[in-house]
Amino acid sequence: MLDFTFTEEQEMIRESVREFAQKKIAPIALEMEKTRQIPEDIIKGMADLGLIAPTVSPEYGGQGFDAVTAGIIAEELARADVTGSIPVFYLVQASWGHIFDKYGTEEAKREVLPNVTKGKWFLGIATTESDAGSDVAGTRTTIRKEGDHYVVNGEKMYISGVREAYTRGGGHITIAKQNPELGTRGMTLFYLPLQSKGIIPTYVDDLGREGISTGGFTIDNVVIPKHYIIGEENRGFYIVHEGYEYARGLISVICAGAGLQSLERGKKYLKERKAFGQPLAKFEALQFRLAEHYTKLSFLRLGAYWALWTYDQEAKGKATRFEVSKAIAMAKMFASEWSNAAIDEVMQWQGAFGYTRECPDQAAWRAIRSFAWAEGSKEIMRVIVSRELLGKEYISYK
Amino acid sequence: MSDYKGILVVGEIYDGKIRPVTFQLVSKARELADTLNTTLSVVLLGHNIGDMAREPIYYGADKVYVMDDQIFEPYVAEVYSRALTKFIGNLKPEIVLIPATHTGREYGPRISAALETGMTADCTDLVIKNGRFVQVRPAYGGNIMGEIITPNHRPQISTVRPNVFKTREPDRSRTGEIVQVKPEFDSMKVRTFIKEIVKTTVTGAKKLDEAKIIVSGGRGVGSKEGFEKLRELADLLGGAVGASRVAVDLGWMPKSAQVGQSGITVQPDLYIACGISGTIQHIVGMKDSKVIVAINKDPNAPIFNIADYGIVGDLHEVIPIFIEEIKKIKKK
Amino acid sequence: MNILVLVKQVPDTSDVKFDERGVMIREGVQSILNVFDQFALEEALRLRQKYGGEVSVMTLAPEQAKTAVQKCLALGADKAYHISDKAFGGSDTLATSYALSLAIRKAGNFDLIMAGNQATDGDTGHIGPQVAEWLGIPHVSYVEQVLSIENGRATVKSILEDGYRIVDVELPALFACLPPTNFEYTNPSMSGIIKAKSKPYTWWKADDIDGDKSKFGLNGSPTRVLKMYPPPKRSRGTVFTGDYHDAVKKIIEALMEKKVIE
Ligand SMILES: Cc1cc2nc3c(=O)[nH]c(=O)nc-3n(C[C@H](O)[C@H](O)[C@H](O)COP(=O)(O)OP(=O)(O)OC[C@H]3O[C@@H](n4cnc5c(N)ncnc54)[C@H](O)[C@@H]3O)c2cc1C
Ligand SMILES: Cc1cc2nc3c(=O)[nH]c(=O)nc-3n(C[C@H](O)[C@H](O)[C@H](O)COP(=O)(O)OP(=O)(O)OC[C@H]3O[C@@H](n4cnc5c(N)ncnc54)[C@H](O)[C@@H]3O)c2cc1C
Ligand SMILES: Cc1cc2nc3c(=O)[nH]c(=O)nc-3n(C[C@H](O)[C@H](O)[C@H](O)COP(=O)(O)OP(=O)(O)OC[C@H]3O[C@@H](n4cnc5c(N)ncnc54)[C@H](O)[C@@H]3O)c2cc1C
């Protein structure tokens, strides 16, 4: 059985999201470069449609969507928002909402998830620190149990949605060391509300995705209740990778969608712009570039949906953890690079206009570039695939 | 089928007057009647119609049937369609032309269903080809034209778009017959009741569909105030002011000024499009204007593809020059 | 309040193109729910919210129109009737409205039938008034809003070229609806799309509706489309790019020459 079609329902979902995204988001996307926030009516519109963390179960306000369906929404948002802000807002909450739903306690889910799906709160992920990114085991933040609650100390850096959670409410699924001597087996994942006493946010002025903040925060003796623990104590390292995989799958679709959409703009431009007495589209040198990028991104798109599908197969017992990790890493390995290359080409076609702030593709280029690091760098994707191919014993580091 | 003879135009009385579209239809129907060598009648429904009944004769009608009854004021669809169904059923014309106004397009289709005959909507041309009555109409939002025939059913009914046919010069010496008809109804039960009629067109402003010159504005006009300049030019030329849908949506002009697919169709001698890009939905409403002038700052605006004359430039600078130049000429 | 909404799937006319022979280029053209019908449906859903009851939708169309009907269910309609049979092929408006009126009779007693004022493809605006005539009920076209429903009567706002009328009609009645220009269409929500799947969806063939079969389809259609062709094009005229004064003068001269201004 090999069938590349989406279900009737998924097609309807795509159509509805596309209409919404093209009508409401596309026209104002570039404005976010200046306003530096996602307009409130768009967040409300997304919540009304059920687009915020749709991976969460219906009893907590979500739609119970699987990864492929979540991917369809991600693609349409990426095709509409050239700044990439809304796709990030979406993908982080869809992925980590799913993890919260799967591993969070009943009490925490009732408290947090409905506020997330309604668009009131923001739910993010915080693993990276100033001194530890790819190497999660290098985490310095600690969590310790004190009676019926926990106390957290440390800092997190390069985290998406800090301002959103700090001002709107909500927080980040955070990793910290509970038993440092146990290494990766001594790390715990928990929900950290950013409005907790003892959190001080900072912000970084990064290159793109202006509508959503990137920042960090210091954690000074922050007290969290027991029911905020996500999954079991000391299992954090494993659970966090599951979330990363979800996010990486969505990122891959986003890269494909944003790149293909940029090529659509480019195609139109090639047909309209004339040089040397004919439309640019008549020059074979440019035609071939279009054909190549389109082909690459179409394969990326297929690969990304396949990876998300593999993720869904695991839930049905039809794929192993390793198969999922590998599929997802393969999908993300070239995602930002290929997408950036295509967008770069489209900027090139547009001549000097391509180098102005008015050109939507420059915003897309800057946004997509972030995905070469975010939620796992492209090098780490190679590490993962190599590990799956050769076996753990060939990992080059300890 | 051969029992059916003659052409019937359903006239429309609106605000106590015969609507101009009636005379346009009569003028066109006269041509068709001459080609087919048949008679042309008009039927008028209303109350206190009086001498108005003569007017269609001046434009070419041979006979005017008058159904004068209180029940026709104000207009409601079920009354008109019932009265006309009876009347047409008795008269047996081969062709019936109904104005494609909001009212005509409301009661008209009911008649075709009641008589179980064919009806063609919103025609922009009517021709006789090999003795056959061919009705031409746009479909798919103006992207395509269709030629429709009703081969085996009579009467052949069409609604015809206002302003696509020119009115003939009225000949006041022309004579014809005026026949009073007592309206007949299968049922007298009227279930529709008009509570209120509200006019939103600015009083004093020229009616768009009757204007010979239209100065029309779109998003490029920039503001409600911007339209004042357009009005000044229109007044100077004795014309009316129109608008694109965007200008209406933005609240700069009333809905009644909207030209295009979801507005009204106009066919003036001169249409000056200012700051209108020229999308298909706008163009279908004005492309049959005799002369089109476009002012747009974008040299690639599609409006230039259909304009006879275009100026690439800022309308805020160009319009005052137009006003100034027209004034100069008027002085002379 | 038992409301039926008549809906039609249409090609998106904003990207429809025809070749020189008048054949539609289907490539890349999306099929959508006629926007007038979506407005009618949203108005019906609003009435349901206010007065209670049920909203059904009905289409007479080939099977593929199901996506448009499904969208109606996703937007909140309670159930659907889809009448589909080769026998209806080639129907003009008379044949379409006749078959629809039979199906409506069979589907039940409706207090209110809502339709679009026109479908953006055929664009005739006939179906609403004709269905009303076949059913022997009053109707109002160009309805922008149903203002109220009381004691078996509805009050609606109907748009005129130069204003509007407030019309009071005895129910059952049919309203052919026209969206206000700034109407914001709703997109089906994710949960609406999921719920749509389990809503009642009734398929009928020609044999399932009682009536005179000779009035169905092409045979029952008095009108014929003789031919189709792209509208005649106006050609590009003179476009001035230089000095405004000079351009205006030249244009005014030309206009006077053509006697369009005096
Ligand atoms: C815009 C943006 C938003 C982000 N949002 C979040 C967020 O919300 N939450 C969060 O926790 N983090 C977030 N991150 C951080 C992101 O996950 C990290 O940047 C990423 O994991 C890499 O870590 P690092 O930056 O510390 O780089 P390092 O780990 O220090 O790596 C530096 C370089 O070395 C390479 N490298 C590292 N190890 C290897 C190896 N074994 N083999 C080969 N190459 C290697 C890396 O690929 C990289 O190129 C975000 C990053 C960006 C840019
Ligand atoms: C079902 C449907 C029905 C529709 N019905 C209609 C209808 O009936 N009528 C209608 O008009 N539209 C209709 N539309 C909308 C139509 O598609 C267009 O959106 C609309 O016509 C565009 O209006 P516009 O030309 O004013 O605005 P735009 O397309 O935004 O164009 C504005 C133009 O102004 C120019 N401009 C800007 N500033 C200046 C300046 N200072 N000087 C000179 N030029 C300037 C710009 O270059 C541009 O070309 C319909 C659409 C749909 C989908
Ligand atoms: C170029 C062309 C021109 C044509 N001209 C004519 C003509 O002049 N006269 C004629 O009789 N036929 C004509 N037809 C045939 C006509 O288009 C079809 O009969 C069509 O199915 C119905 O007409 P419409 O699209 O105009 O609908 P409209 O009458 O404009 O539709 C109004 C409303 O009725 C409802 N409705 C319409 N169709 C259906 C349906 N199938 N199921 C459920 N609800 C529906 C919807 O609510 C819709 O909004 C023409 C066809 C073509 C291709």
> pLDDT digits over A79-90, tens only?
999 999 999 999
Question: What is the rounded average pLDDT for all residues in chain C?
Answer: 94
C residues 33-72 closer than 8 Å to B (CB):
none
At residue B219, the pLDDT reads: 96
Please indicate, yes or no, if residue A246 is contained in any of the structural domains: yes
Residue B205 pLDDT level (bands cut at 50, 70, 90): low
- Out of C189, C196, C197, whose CB is closest to A50? C189
Domain boundaries, chain B: 7-189, 208-331
Question: Residue B143 pLDDT more than 90?
Answer: no
Please indicate, yes or no, if residue A301 is contained in any of the structural domains: yes
Return the CA Rg of chain C.
22
C residues 75-104 closer than 8 Å to B (CB):
92-94, 97-98
Domain end position, chosen among A173, A205, A230: A230
Alpha-carbon span C114 to C68, nearest angstrom: 16
Contact B272, B241 (CB under 8 A): no
Which residues in chain A land under pLDDT 70? Answer: 398
At residue B244, the pLDDT reads: 96
At residue C29, the pLDDT reads: 84
At residue A104, the pLDDT reads: 97
| Nearest ligand 1 atom to alpha carbon A160 | 8
* Domain CATH code at residue C136: 3.40.50.620
Name the one residue in this structure whose structure tokens are 């974008």.
B298
A307 lies in the same domain as A183: no
Q: Burial of A140 by CB count in 10 Å (0-12 exposed, 13-18 middle, 19+ buried)?
A: middle
Please indicate, yes or no, if residue C260 is contained in any of the structural domains: no
B·C CB contacts under 8 A: 274
Angle (nearest 5°) at CA C229 between C228 and C233: 155
A117 lies in the same domain as A127: no
DSSP run (H or E) holding B237: helix B226-237
Q: How far is B306 from chain C (nearest CA, A)?
A: 5
Strands C163-170 vs B119-123: parallel, antiparallel or unpaired? unpaired
Question: Residue B324 pLDDT more than 70?
Answer: yes
Question: How confident is the model over C7-32, as a mean pLDDT?
Answer: 82
Residue C129 pLDDT level (bands cut at 50, 70, 90): very high
Angle between helices A67-80 and A85-103 (to 10 degrees): 160
The number of folded domains in chain C is 1
Chain B hits for C121, Cβ within 8 Å: 139-140
C residues 111-170 closer than 8 Å to B (CB):
120-130, 132-134, 137-142, 155, 158-170
A79 lies in the same domain as A21: yes
Alpha-carbon span A292 to B67, nearest angstrom: 73
Question: How confident is the model over B292-315, as a mean pLDDT?
Answer: 94
Domain end position, chosen among A230, A255, A286: A230
Minimal-distance CA residue of chain B relative to C223: B150
Residues with CB under 6 A from ligand 3: B 119-121, 137, 139, 144, 146, 148; C 6-8, 34, 36-37, 58-61, 91-94, 96, 100, 115-116, 118-119, 121-128, 223, 225, 228
CB contact under 8 A, A12 and C67: yes
Question: How confident is the model over C166-184, as a mean pLDDT?
Answer: 94
Of A320-324, B135-139, C160-164, C206-210, which gets the smallest average pLDDT?
C160-164
Question: Residue C28 pLDDT more than 90?
Answer: no
Residue B256 pLDDT level (bands cut at 50, 70, 90): confident
At residue B112, the pLDDT reads: 98
At residue B201, the pLDDT reads: 66
pLDDT, tens only, C97-112? 999 999 999 999 999 9
A253 lies in the same domain as A307: yes
Question: How confident is the model over C126-145, as a mean pLDDT?
Answer: 98
Angle (nearest 5°) at CA B101 between B98 and B104: 45
At residue C21, the pLDDT reads: 74
The closest of B187, B196, B162, B95 to C133, measured between CA atoms, is: B187
Alpha-carbon span C25 to C27, nearest angstrom: 6
**Structure tokens belonging to residue C19:** 């070749």
CB contact under 8 A, C248 and B311: yes
A48 lies in the same domain as A35: yes
The number of folded domains in chain A is 3
At residue A71, the pLDDT reads: 98
Question: What is the rounded average pLDDT for all residues in chain B?
Answer: 93
At residue B193, the pLDDT reads: 96
The closest of C33, C121, C228 to B141, measured between CA atoms, is: C121
At residue B107, the pLDDT reads: 98
CB contact under 8 A, C190 and A20: no
Amino acid at B53: A
Domain end position, chosen among A230, A247, A267: A230
Say which DSSP state A74 is in: H
Quote the ligand 2 centre to B5 CA distance (angstroms).
46
* Higher pLDDT, residue B141 or A195: A195
Question: How confident is the model over B12-25, as a mean pLDDT?
Answer: 94
**Cα dist from A243 to A314, A335, A343, B237, whole Å:** 14, 18, 28, 70
* Domain CATH code at residue A177: 2.40.110.10
At residue C161, the pLDDT reads: 84
Of A203-207, A312-316, C184-188, C257-261, which gets the smallest average pLDDT?
C257-261
The closest of C89, C86, C85, C77 to C114, measured between CA atoms, is: C77
Please indicate, yes or no, if residue C238 is contained in any of the structural domains: no
A104 lies in the same domain as A180: no
Question: How confident is the model over B198-219, as a mean pLDDT?
Answer: 80
List all chains that touch chain C, counting a touch as 3 or more CB pairs closer than 8 Å: A, B
At residue B73, the pLDDT reads: 93
Please indicate, yes or no, if residue C258 is contained in any of the structural domains: no
The DSSP bridge partners found for residue C229 are B145
Mutational test site, ligand 1, from A96, A134, A209, A386, max ligand atoms within 8 Å of CB? A134
A25 lies in the same domain as A42: yes
Q: How many other C-beta atoms can be found within 10 angstroms of the C-beta atom of residue A38?
A: 23
**Structure tokens belonging to residue C86:** 């080769």
Protein residue whose Cα sits closest to atom 52 of ligand 1? A374
Is residue B260 classed as helix, strand or coil in its secondary structure?
coil
* Domain B7-189: top CATH class: alpha beta
pLDDT, tens only, B228-240? 999 999 999 989 9
Say which DSSP state C234 is in: P
A26 lies in the same domain as A103: yes
Beta strands in C22-95 (DSSP E): 24-25, 31-33, 54-60, 79-83
Question: Residue C262 pLDDT more than 80?
Answer: no
Mutational test site, ligand 1, from A373, A379, A387, max ligand atoms within 8 Å of CB? A373
Architecture of domain B208-331: 3-Layer(aba) Sandwich (3.40)
Angle between helices A321-333 and A236-272 (to 10 degrees): 30
Question: How confident is the model over C50-69, as a mean pLDDT?
Answer: 97
Name the one residue in this structure whose structure tokens are 């850096």.
A157
Please indicate, yes or no, if residue C13 is contained in any of the structural domains: yes
Domain residue limits at C13: 2-220
Say which DSSP state B155 is in: S
**Structure tokens belonging to residue B326:** 């027209």
A241 lies in the same domain as A388: yes
Ligand 2 proximity of B315 Cβ (cutoff 6 Å): yes
Please indicate, yes or no, if residue C87 is contained in any of the structural domains: yes
Quote the ligand 1 centre to A377 CA distance (angstroms).
5
pLDDT, tens only, A211-224? 999 999 999 999 99
Please indicate, yes or no, if residue A56 is contained in any of the structural domains: yes
Please indicate, yes or no, if residue C145 is contained in any of the structural domains: yes
Domain residue limits at A243: 236-394
Alpha-carbon span B243 to B224, nearest angstrom: 11
**Structure tokens belonging to residue A365:** 């280029």
Question: How confident is the model over B38-55, as a mean pLDDT?
Answer: 97
Residue C186 pLDDT level (bands cut at 50, 70, 90): very high
Please indicate, yes or no, if residue A82 is contained in any of the structural domains: yes
pLDDT-above-70 percentage for chain B: 98
Please indicate, yes or no, if residue A3 is contained in any of the structural domains: no
Residue B186 pLDDT level (bands cut at 50, 70, 90): confident
At residue B262, the pLDDT reads: 79
